[in-house]
Amino acid sequence: MSLQILPRGKWVGARVKRVEDPRFLTGEARYLADLQIPGTVHAAFVRSPYGHARIRRIDTSAARALPGVLAVFTAEDVATLPPLASGLPIEGLKPTPQTVLAKDKIRFIGEAVAVVVAENRYIAEDAAELVEVDYERLPAVTDAERAMAPDAPLLHEDLGTNVVYQKVTTLGDVDSAFAQADRIFRRRFHTNRFVAAPMETRGCLSVYERSSGQLTFYSSTQMPHMLRLFLSLFLGIPEHKVRVISPEVGGGFGQKMTIYPEEVVIAYLGKVLGRPVKWVEDRRENLAAATHAKEQIIELEAAVRNDGKVLGLKARLIGDGGAYSFNTASALIEPLAAAGIIPGVYDIQAYQHEVIAVCTNKAPVGAFRAVGWTAAQTARELFFDEIARELGLDPAEFRRRNVITSDQFPYTTITGMVYDSGSYQESLERALELVGYEELRRRQAELRQQGRYLGIGISLYVEPTAWGSEIALQAGFPFPSHDNATVTIDPTGKVRVAVSVHSHGQGHETTLAQVAAEILGVSIDDVIVEHGDTDRAPWGMGTYASRSAVIGGGMVALAAREVREKVLRVASRLLEVAPEDLDIQDGNVFVKGAPDRSLSLFQVAFAAYLDGRVRAEGEEPLLSATKFYDPRATYSNGCIVTVCEVDGETGTVHLDKIVAVEDCGTMLNPMIVEGQVMGAIAQGIGGALYEAMVYDENGQLLTDTFVTYALPTATEVPELIIEHLETPSPVTIGGIKGIGEGGLLAAPASVAGAVLDAIWPAGRAIEQLPLTPERVLAALGGETGV
């Protein structure tokens, strides 16, 4: 298979406006909540008000008696449904099965204990409040380190521990590296727990036809085919009789790639009640019961020479997995992913890591943009800043002395990741040039003399992308990951592209149309891209982990190339020339060097379907092809530099500018790339300065609305300067790399680094994010461990 089958011409690389936007801007897009099916009834979940408790008794009589209530279900009523559990095949990982409705015990506030079904949502919500649950409150544990203690309250008594995984891995000669070091540095970081907070919350609608045994399930999911598979297994319905439709989805960011208990319950209710059943969660439910992310305690130790060369690293990573080792990729999704990326873009030859996953009385942890990598990047970059200051080195110079250089590619990291290509040093230098680094340092020194706090934060990163089977294995998560695309030219010469990757804001209907249009020689106006319906799209894993451009683009390119070859064969018989003497441009097939000898694509397609004389014996008339793609591992990279000023009296942070230099290989559409970078950086600003899911010692969630959970708004996002470098991957079709995670992976380290750079001469180090005004003031006041 040639990797060069995707040319760069009229469409690939062009700044094409998103073709899907008109329906969003005009209000024509239909989300899950907009779907209206006759006879629909509505579900509301009864959720635990406590963080840890036994269920003594559930009395549903008052709820059942309310007019308009059809049914109330508890765990006993859905006992035939199997529990959810991670199937990740990693030795030593302890399972924590989760029943779809809590049975006997609840382990986090917001866990569902019952569900009410009523004629409308208002009645369902009212009835849910009438369900009486007698709880025996239990001591809770919301601190991961406390949960590891022998006397800690146990979430899963059968395990005898809250630690579901613990392993030490030594790579290279760590003892020798530390013995040779001139200096040993240590630092502890506690990254904050924050969430995806998509504009659209979770929701689903179950429609079951008893006559045919067919289940149609609408869900705001990122993975329609995987959801179909699991619903089939959970409900005992043959998979070919399950159809999953994911309509417009108002953001996912990883939170909606999980298979949730609520989805299984709603699907089951549709089957047993024989009525369409709909559930759409409110924001409080989303904050309390949907997956959380990012919280880790990371202890780092570095062996360093006096010239700044890092000889070796040690890391202890404790992932706070919440109440269950959740079903997507287990409680390891944070600390194991982090462990693999700790060396980052740096040439580290000795590394030891201890990965620990712990259960606590919080919502389970799941995927969220740059899962695991955000915490690792933040801890390492802030640590390296401290080391540089201790050695009297400029932070940029410290990075120059350790970064992997372009002549080292392909580079295999000490953790086994194979960096295929990149521009690590180049992105650092370009970002520093764009921000005016040398002048900023001079300005910083002047302002310090005036008692002002100007800071500059550098975050140099590598981003694992194109999540196929190979990169999953390199990252420590051994599961297959691949997808398919079908490209079809109909008899009128128009193109339909059906893909298994799902778009929920990424612009697939534009970028994948650009790929097909480039290869087939048509306008993107003649291409439609379909996704989100398991009956119309070929089987695949869905959208997550910066994979859609690489895998989606690659599989569309492969299928389009095969269809192009079919078109040329038919046209060659019509024009009586060899296929290799033909080309396709602007919807016309013509003879190279003689463009007047041509046929429209309509003419060729019409003949292919309806004129048997142009087909060779045994040749099919359909101008269609389905192709699979499971790419080699490829890694994007970049550098984010933040400039900020800290108010010494209030502790508030003013962001002046952020420069982002990114390299995602061949860009399909620079405008969409920039949108990805901007959105991810905005989320990173939130993670660095504002967002935190806070629980008290009893497991009560204190940030369960947007009044208490602070999201950044447009006024908190400063001027963004984005520049592109392009180092095409030598191992993927078209040289494409992913881009979706980098901003959130690297921005928190850059923003936090700028704040700490501003205050370090006058204050103490800060161990915990977000950098709220209270924490900044405490550090300026000399408090330690804040």
Q: pLDDT tens across 762-784, in order? A: 877 899 999 999 999 999 986 65
Minimum mean pLDDT range among 20-24, 412-416, 759-763 = 759-763
Task: For residue 185, name the pLDDT band (cuts at 50, 70, 90).
Answer: very high
Going by their DSSP bridges, the two strands 719-725 and 653-663 should be labelled as parallel
Write down the pLDDT at residue 782.
Answer: 65
Give the residue extent of every domain in the chain: 3-29+482-629, 32-138+196-289, 296-473+632-780
Cis before 410? omega within 30: yes
Going by their DSSP bridges, the two strands 588-591 and 594-600 should be labelled as antiparallel
The pair of structure tokens assigned to 784 is 């330690």
Residue 592 contacts by C-beta under 8 Å, 6 or more apart in sequence? 581, 582, 583
- Examine the pLDDT at 2 and tell me if it is beyond 80: no
Q: Which CA distances in Å does 743 have to 461, 587, 639, 682, 692?
A: 10, 38, 9, 8, 18
The pLDDT tens digits of the residues spanning 479-525 come to 788 899 999 999 999 999 999 999 999 999 999 999 999 999 999 99
Minimum mean pLDDT range among 220-229, 437-446, 472-481 = 472-481
The pair of structure tokens assigned to 467 is 């999540």
Write down the pLDDT at residue 254.
Answer: 92
The pLDDT tens digits of the residues spanning 57-96 come to 999 999 999 999 999 999 999 999 999 988 788 999 999 9
3-state secondary structure at position 593:
coil
Write down the pLDDT at residue 134.
Answer: 98
Write down the pLDDT at residue 112.
Answer: 98
Write down the pLDDT at residue 413.
Answer: 98
- Average pLDDT, rounded, for the chain: 96
Write down the pLDDT at residue 479.
Answer: 79
Q: Which residues pair with 58 in a beta bridge?
A: 133
Q: What number is the average pLDDT over the span 368-381?
A: 97
Task: For residue 785, name the pLDDT band (cuts at 50, 70, 90).
Answer: low
3-state secondary structure at position 661:
strand
CATH superfamily assigned to domain 32-138+196-289: Aldehyde oxidase/xanthine dehydrogenase, a/b hammerhead (3.90.1170.50)
The pLDDT tens digits of the residues spanning 110-163 come to 999 999 999 999 999 999 999 999 999 999 999 999 999 999 999 999 999 999
Residue 100 contacts by C-beta under 8 Å, 6 or more apart in sequence? 75, 78, 81, 83, 84, 112, 261, 262, 264, 265, 268
The pLDDT tens digits of the residues spanning 705-728 come to 999 999 999 999 999 999 999 999
Phi, psi of 416 (to 5 degrees): 95, 5
Task: For residue 466, name the pLDDT band (cuts at 50, 70, 90).
Answer: confident
Percent of the chain at pLDDT exceeding 70: 99
How many whole angstroms separate alpha carbon 197 and alpha carbon 654?
24
Q: What number is the average pLDDT over the span 575-600?
A: 96
The pLDDT tens digits of the residues spanning 279-316 come to 999 999 999 999 999 999 999 999 999 999 999 999 99
Write down the pLDDT at residue 701.
Answer: 98
Write down the pLDDT at residue 87.
Answer: 79
How many CB atoms lie under 10 A from the CB of residue 731? 18
Write down the pLDDT at residue 316.
Answer: 98
Domain 3-29+482-629, CATH: 3.30.365.10
The pLDDT tens digits of the residues spanning 621-643 come to 899 999 999 999 999 999 999 99
How many whole angstroms separate alpha carbon 234 and alpha carbon 211?
20
Say if 3-29+482-629 and 32-138+196-289 have the same CATH topology.
Answer: no
CATH 3.30.365.10 describes domain 296-473+632-780: yes
Q: What number is the average pLDDT over the span 523-541?
A: 96
Write down the pLDDT at residue 784.
Answer: 53
Write down the pLDDT at residue 614.
Answer: 87
